[in-house]
Structure 1
Amino acid sequence: MRGRIALAGLAIAALAAGVVLATTSPPSLLSGYDWAWGGDRGATKVAKAVPFGSHAQTLDIWRPEGTSASVRLPVVIFWYGGGWVKGDRAAYAFAGRALANAGFLVVIPDYRKVPAVRFPAFLQDGAEAVRWTRDNAARYGGDPDRIALVGHSAGAYEAIMLALDGKWLREARVDPAIVKAAIGLSGPYDFYPFDTKRSIDAMSRWPRPLETQPITYARADAPPLLLVTSNGDETVRHRNADRLAAKLRKLGAPVELKNYGPIDHEEVVMALSTPFRDKAPVLADSVAFLKRNLGQVSQ
């Protein structure tokens, strides 16, 4: 709730400054606020609206400022949230800048949304984004042998599902072993039976509902996972991360679970941005996890 209030405050501040808000989303406002706070320093968008996949999807690419395509940066693919019904890559510039500033090549892809599509179309789009990244990261200074998946909310579902269920990557002609690590920020992983409009709309038409659940695919040989949650999250309850982490641990899989206490669903992703970074060490903990599993820049 506090995250929604903070984002509403950004909108009010922008309105007071004379900004036209009719088509501006809260994440877009946050990206603007982040830029105003100096969040752009050290990162640059090196490609915008790059086409990929089979359905006119596009993606943006961020890189640490001053690096060239001759380096080999570890790569992060970041998927935004929005309940499978909304969101766009440009609005999450604050996430791209944050991770690029930390030394990663960052790919932020769009994906198709409900009601135009249902499960598993957004996973298929995600798999196509991984394939594109594998094939093209080196052109932008990324190392295709060091790819991690990261997402928030519905984007965390995307990242963790692709990391655990290799079916979607294999169908996209990608070896699932390409995923070296994954981070889920406030994601839904164990939410059947479906009891919200968004989960019903996105998932309920699939004839075998348990196949929509990331926890179904927990396995001992999963890539290292970091699951981030918070007690204050009333949108995606922390039990999702708790249950998935417990099952992975029982299987002996490498998993880390971090609960940031009272902060809410929106505040977890807001904490990636410069002005809200003091809410919780989401960025610092994520970067440390990624560097442990992907390594540093290589020449």
Structure 2
Amino acid sequence: MHTLASTGRRASLFVMSLALAGCASGLNKLKPSSTFAFTEGVSYGPNPRQKVDIYRPATPAPAGGWPVVVFFYGGSWHWGNRAEYTFAGEALASRGVLTLIADYRLYPEVRFPDFLDDSAMATAYALREAARLGGDPKRVYVMGHSAGAYNAAMVALDERWLKAQGQSPASLAGWIGLAGPYEFLPISNPQAQVVFHHPDYPPGTQPIDYVRRGTPRAFLGAAHNDHLVNPVRNTEQMAERMKAAGIPVQLKLYDGVDHVTLVASMAWSLRWMSSVLDDVSAFMRQEPQAPSTASR
């Protein structure tokens, strides 16, 4: 992405992604098991990567059902799998959110825009099946971290992807982006370059270009200390664009975490690092706000 301006930073992205994968093994082992009921590997499409793990809260569902979120992990569209994010499924379920952790196809199997087709398919599955799973079909959210936040943003803002699945972004209650890249051309990171057909970038790759009145409200979070995805150019600029369009948006920049530990701090053993879990779960429990109440 554009913020990875040097070989050192590109190497850092790879190392930090591997660190998160390694860290996840420990975080997943330390998670509580009494806060959720687990269903593994539910197919939302025919490809082996088109599966979700489902985390149902252990607490009784409120009237109308639990809020529902489809979570997309990061990894520069090159790596990641849903089993590494059990800590995130447990975290959100512990706050009363029915959570689907989604796999999607990765490079080199696919490049842009195929992983967005997968993300939209997973989201359409959640919209169709929410009530059957105990969720509230009127409170379905998409959420992601890093590259996964890009996927969530595109599904929520660019109607092409859900429309192809017989759904619409208007059916979403909102979206949540953590440390996401939303405006990143030209691309300097070789791993992201190959995903986005560098140097012949297809049109319509930037989430920020799809912000318009009527798109779903958002919670945007990032670390102040994020040297991999610039929080000013991406998270703050996206919040300003949404605010200017009259879309309710909550923006929070976190101290004491970085690009990776922002999402890792959702884990049971690391929640002392940031309030991100409480913040995003509170956002999903809120009723949709009027545009005039959009906040920074």
Which TM-score bucket, shorter chain as reference? 0.7 to 0.9
The answer to whether structure 1 residue 26 and structure 2 residue 18 are counterparts is: no
Alignment partner, residue 247 of structure 2:
253
- Structure 1 distance, partners of 2:115, 2:151, is 8
After superposition, give the CA deviation of every residue in 1:273-298 in whole Å (9 maximum; x if it has no partner). Answer: 11111111101111111111479xxx
Alignment partner, residue 75 of structure 2:
82
Q: Output the aligned Cα RMSD.
A: 2.4
Q: CA deviation at 1:28?
A: 2.8
Alignment partner, residue 42 of structure 2:
50
Q: CA deviation at 1:208?
A: 4.9
**Given that residues 59 and 96 in structure 2 are in contact (C-alpha distance below 8 angstroms), is that contact kept between their aligned partners in structure 1?**
no
- Structure 2 distance, partners of 1:113, 1:213, is 19
Alignment partner, residue 273 of structure 1:
267
241 and 162 in structure 1: CA distance in 2 versus 1, 3 angstrom threshold: same
Stretches of structure 2 lacking an aligned partner (at least 5 in a row): 1-11, 290-296
Q: CA deviation at 1:89?
A: 0.7
**Given that residues 222 and 254 in structure 1 are in contact (C-alpha distance below 8 angstroms), is that contact kept between their aligned partners in structure 2?**
no
Give the share of equivalent positions with the same residue, in percent.
39
Aligned pairs, how many? Answer: 273
Q: CA deviation at 1:71?
A: 6.5
Q: CA deviation at 1:198?
A: 2.3
The answer to whether structure 1 residue 147 and structure 2 residue 144 are counterparts is: no
- Structure 2 distance, partners of 1:234, 1:226, is 21
Aligned counterparts, 1:87-236, within 5 A: 87-204=80-197, 207-236=200-229
**Given that residues 147 and 294 in structure 1 are in contact (C-alpha distance below 8 angstroms), is that contact kept between their aligned partners in structure 2?**
no
- The AA in structure 1 aligned to 2:29 is G
Q: CA deviation at 1:119?
A: 0.5
Q: CA deviation at 1:266?
A: 0.7
Stretches of structure 1 lacking an aligned partner (at least 5 in a row): 11-23
**Residue 175 of structure 2 aligns to a residue in which SS?**
strand
Alignment partner, residue 4 of structure 2:
none
After superposition, give the CA deviation of every residue in 1:60-96 in whole Å (9 maximum; x if it has no partner). Answer: 1001115479972111111111110111111101111
**Residue 101 of structure 2 aligns to a residue in which SS?**
strand
User: Segments of 4+ in structure 1 off by > 6 A?
Assistant: 68-71
**Residue 278 of structure 1 aligns to a residue in which SS?**
coil
243 and 286 in structure 1: CA distance in 2 versus 1, 3 angstrom threshold: same
Q: CA deviation at 1:43?
A: 1.7
- Structure 2 distance, partners of 1:150, 1:158, is 9
Alignment partner, residue 5 of structure 2:
none
Q: CA deviation at 1:58?
A: 1.1
**Given that residues 210 and 216 in structure 1 are in contact (C-alpha distance below 8 angstroms), is that contact kept between their aligned partners in structure 2?**
no
